[in-house]
Structure 1
Amino acid sequence: MRTKLRPLPGVVFRERTQPLAPTREFARALLGSVGPVTAEMVTKGGGRYAAGDVAGVSGLQRQYDEQLAGTPGTVVEAVSEGDPRTLYEVAATTGKPLALTLATDVQEAADRALQDLDQPAALVAVSVQTGAVLAVANSPATGLDRALVGRYPPGSTFKVVTTLSLLGKGLRADDRVECPQTATVDGRTFRNFEAEQFGAVPFRTDFARSCNTAFVGLSPRLDADDLRRTAASTGIGVDYDALGTDAFSGSVPATTSDVDKAAASFGQGRVLVSPLAVAVSTASVARGGYLPPTLVDTGATAPTAKALDDGDVTTLRSLMRSVVTDGTGTALRDVDGGEVRAKTGTAEFGTDDPPRTRAWITGWQGDVAFAVLVEEGASGGTVAGPVAARFLRGL
């Protein structure tokens, strides 16, 4: 049929070659999609698009559409009874591929780990060795790329940052720190998850079992800018210029009161992060220094990591291992493939009484650092932990 129609005057065939991801869900919110251009794209495209064109309409495919698509060729011919005569011709240019750092096996494991969840969720994986982003998964797979641009309180995953700051102030893992059921600061009462209380126990236990009130009690040791500076040293709240796309790296303001500092110490108050920011911070602890995350591979030489204090990081790694062996992260205890170190988090949000909670877990195994967020869940250990376990088992 094509061979019969093509010679007819006025018949035009629109042909294109479009690469497809390994699966329909594969990093879809990040990669985006290709389709008919919108009226807005035509209006704002400066003449690049016309109605009926096909282009990248979301995600990286829209952001890098000009590079990926190239430019069409144009031929103007004079047609008479004789052979056509070319009056004007501009050759087409081929689009250039966009290389990403995503690892197919890691991305597919992340996508599978989020399947069948009944809440929006995200999972980000980062290479400990290089800082390269290995997976960006969202559930649902389409729509908001909450893994990169979502803004959420980190809950107790931020205790990794707070602990690093406290270790720098002289805290030791075996120091006995009170964990009461509640702690009050300037009239505001802070509570533990499910009204837990452990008494005067080694800080290692407070960390492993995620005692909020222990961190509230330790918060006076911190200066107003300590948490902001320590977070930045691990990659939270800094520019991700090497990433190649928009992402929220987090916001950790200097604290303005004792109450503000107490809330920030366990990831509440005004502290906000994305799942990417949490994974980047965790990777910094795993490698012992911060490397900027990369996603769009430009071939540039990787920078040298900005080192963290070796002794403090060594202690922190040991504390994160205790979360998995004896604390709130036991969902990862029997995962094959080497030791897992982690920190769970349960972040309150909204105005309900009791408040609703988001479930977090972050950690690493081997070269893969990860962060998991489930937008609503009872606790990080019981909701996000099993998701992380499925992810690691899928690698």
Structure 2
Amino acid sequence: MGKRRRVAERRTKKPAVVGGVVAVVVGGAGVGCWALYDGGTAADDRPRTAAAAAQEAVETGPLTAQEVGTAANAFLTAWQQGNVAGAASATDDAAAASALLTGWTKDAHIKDVALTTGTATGAKVPFSVRATVAYKHLTKPLAYDSSLTVVRRAEDGAPLVDWHAAVVHPDLKDGDTLVTGASGTPPVTALDRAGNELTTAAYPSLGTVLDGLREKYGKTAGGTAGVELRVVRGKSSKSSKASDKTLLELSEGTPGTVRTTLDAAFQKEAERQVARQSRASVVLMRPSTGEILAVANSSAGFNTALQGSLAPGSTMKIVTSSLLIDKGLATADGAHPCPKTVTYGGWKFHNDDDFSIKGGTFKASFARSCNTAFISQAKKLDDDDLTNQAQRYFGLGMNNWAIGVPSFDGSVPVQSAAQMAASLIGQGGVRMNPLNMASVASTVRTGTFHQPYLVSPSVDHRALATASGTLPAATLSQLRELMQYTAAYGTAAEAMSGLGPDYGAKTGSAEVDNQKQPNGWFTAYRGDLAAAGVVQAGGHGGDTAGPIVASLLRMGG
């Protein structure tokens, strides 16, 4: 009786309200846990057992604030107390949660964890993490923000934390782990082509590039490793060529030096330009050599400029035009159909605003970006023609580029029927990024594919990719005529104003499912510079990506 009374007395003590949440002292250890306070959440609540849940009707419908608070509280309290089993059981993937949370202590050497929730937005609960990383005689505070989302378990409707590795740290992807120790890869100091140091403080876009340089060249650049907390990428992340990432440095290593082909002046301008747009990316390169002079993205975390995989829209018409010219299906000044619509493979293809050109040339269709001018030729092509053309002359889609950091080489898969037709205008299964499309413009500028690179192959004696063929002279001259005309009089004219006459360009707009505005693309060359950019959900490429590309070409060099 006395024991029950003491428990009851403890539960009647009012918790202190801190910052809109409830701070509860657990077990006398001074550990705080938090939950949304709506009068019904207790510190010792636990998720229902499967047996109990089976006796009740399956809960459906939106989660209540109390359900969200209870589930979040159960998970965060157990995690903070080091109760891995308890925290894992509060998620919808106990095995994955248990593995990562076990590594949090054993591999990452993190202790003294304090978790504080913010204000929930629906089922999403933000929280801050304050802890200490302790490795041998070294310690350093760790602080960052994260969030979790509560969902209903399908079989019984129980509210549980939707498990993803990013709950533990936002830089983690599923399958990644956290490790603290002597880094297996020494740090590097990256230099531009003139010997200027490249840092993320000066050039925020280069974060993923610097990570990639360290991963590839750290062990051979002459540095020594320090001690750090880092993200070690798992199988899934490695398949997308993500690099390991340092989160906290406990002791500095001695960096080695890696010289790149980047140019600090071009890089600064590229960073400035992409910062003006949301989700913008650009690459600048030298066609005669393949050297990458600048690479920038307006959003950090993923290097869309080098690793993106996006439909390139009408910029792909450069490659398609070379195919049609080679096969005698089009000539720059020859008559060519551009109707409002064309049906192929059961799909009806349109031009922007259903325009048409009557009695026009192929050059006019290219300059105005007439989709039907290309789709109308699909019936005369084999399914693998575009794939072969992209590989043979432009070096695309063979997964063999070695630029010095992780990159995606583009993809032009063999397709049939409507999908094959769509690929002719850069839709269907075709996927590119600004690096790939800058390379396409470079190939037209020089007539020969030069694999882009960011670190000279002489540094590590790696072989660069090559294309098996060189564009026929007649095809090349017509491609240049098409791109020059587009830059002077077509959809690229406004952006390229004042840059002629030694120039060429192509715009593009790529439709994306469930996206109101298409991705805007632009690729161009001027002298011995070529660039390509994309603004995701930006609309027409001439209006969005065009000014970014043109600003770099105006710098000359």
Query: Taking structure 1 as reference, are residues 377 and 315 closer, same or farther at Cα in structure 2, changes over 3 Å only?
Result: same
Q: Is the 8 A contact 2:395 2:466 kept in 1?
A: no
Name the residue aligned to 2:535: 374
Name the residue aligned to 1:55: none
Distance 1:336 1:175 in 2: 27
Q: Is the 8 A contact 1:236 1:273 kept in 2?
A: no
Q: Is the 8 A contact 1:67 1:97 kept in 2?
A: no
Q: Is the 8 A contact 1:127 1:369 kept in 2?
A: yes
Normalising by structure 1, report the TM-score: 0.77
Letter of the aligned partner of 2:219 in structure 1? E
Q: Deviations over 1:375-395 (max 9, x none)?
A: 112211122112222222345
Structure 2: gaps spanning 5 or more residues: 1-136, 141-186, 191-196, 227-252
Is 1:388 matched up with 2:549?
yes
Quick one: higher RCO (CA 8 Å, sep 6+), 1 or 2? 1
Query: Taking structure 1 as reference, are residues 158 and 337 closer, same or farther at Cα in structure 2, changes over 3 Å only?
Result: closer
Structure 1: gaps spanning 5 or more residues: 1-10, 33-57, 74-92
Name the residue aligned to 1:113: 273
Name the residue aligned to 1:341: 504
Q: Is the 8 A contact 1:236 1:278 kept in 2?
A: no
Query: Shift in Å at residue 101 of structure 1?
Result: 1.1
Secondary structure, aligned partner of 1:382 = coil
Letter of the aligned partner of 1:103 in structure 2? D
Secondary structure, aligned partner of 1:343 = strand
Name the residue aligned to 1:151: 309
Q: Is the 8 A contact 1:360 1:373 kept in 2?
A: yes
Query: Shift in Å at residue 191 of structure 1?
Result: 0.9
Q: Is the 8 A contact 2:284 2:292 kept in 1?
A: yes
Mapping 1:267-306, distance limit 5 Å? 267-299=426-458, 306=469
Query: Shift in Å at residue 357 of structure 1?
Result: 0.4
Letter of the aligned partner of 2:312 in structure 1? P
Letter of the aligned partner of 2:275 in structure 1? Q
**Count of matched residue pairs:** 335
Mapping 1:154-165, distance limit 5 Å? 154-165=312-323
Distance 1:385 1:217 in 2: 28
Name the residue aligned to 1:256: 416
Query: Shift in Å at residue 17 of structure 1?
Result: 10
Is 1:327 matched up with 2:490?
yes
Letter of the aligned partner of 1:320 in structure 2? M
Name the residue aligned to 2:257: 97
Name the residue aligned to 2:342: 183
Distance 1:62 1:122 in 2: 23
Secondary structure, aligned partner of 1:137 = strand
Q: Is the 8 A contact 1:26 1:108 kept in 2?
A: no
Name the residue aligned to 1:362: 523
Over the matched positions of the two proteins, sequence identity in percent amounts to 35
Distance 2:189 2:428 in 1: 46
Name the residue aligned to 2:217: 64
Distance 2:431 2:326 in 1: 23
Name the residue aligned to 1:4: none
Name the residue aligned to 1:234: 394
Q: Which has the larger radius of gyration?
A: 2
Query: Shift in Å at residue 218 of structure 1?
Result: 1.7
Q: Deviations over 1:120-169 (max 9, x none)?
A: 111011211101111111112x3111101110001000000000000001
Query: Taking structure 1 as reference, are residues 364 and 71 closer, same or farther at Cα in structure 2, changes over 3 Å only?
Result: same
Q: Is the 8 A contact 1:169 1:221 kept in 2?
A: no
Query: Taking structure 1 as reference, are residues 184 and 318 closer, same or farther at Cα in structure 2, changes over 3 Å only?
Result: same
**What is the RMSD computed on CA atoms of the aligned residues?**
2.8
372-381 vs 20-29, which moves further: 20-29
Distance 1:143 1:295 in 2: 19
Query: Taking structure 1 as reference, are residues 267 and 18 closer, same or farther at Cα in structure 2, changes over 3 Å only?
Result: closer
Name the residue aligned to 2:207: 29
Distance 1:144 1:375 in 2: 14
Query: Taking structure 1 as reference, are residues 229 and 344 closer, same or farther at Cα in structure 2, changes over 3 Å only?
Result: same
Normalising by structure 2, report the TM-score: 0.56
Query: Taking structure 1 as reference, are residues 180 and 304 closer, same or farther at Cα in structure 2, changes over 3 Å only?
Result: closer
Q: Deviations over 1:177-230 (max 9, x none)?
A: 221221111331111112222123111100000000111112222221110011
Distance 2:268 2:453 in 1: 19
Distance 2:500 2:367 in 1: 22
Name the residue aligned to 1:311: 474
238-247 vs 298-307, which moves further: 298-307
Secondary structure, aligned partner of 2:520 = strand
Query: Shift in Å at residue 367 of structure 1?
Result: 0.8
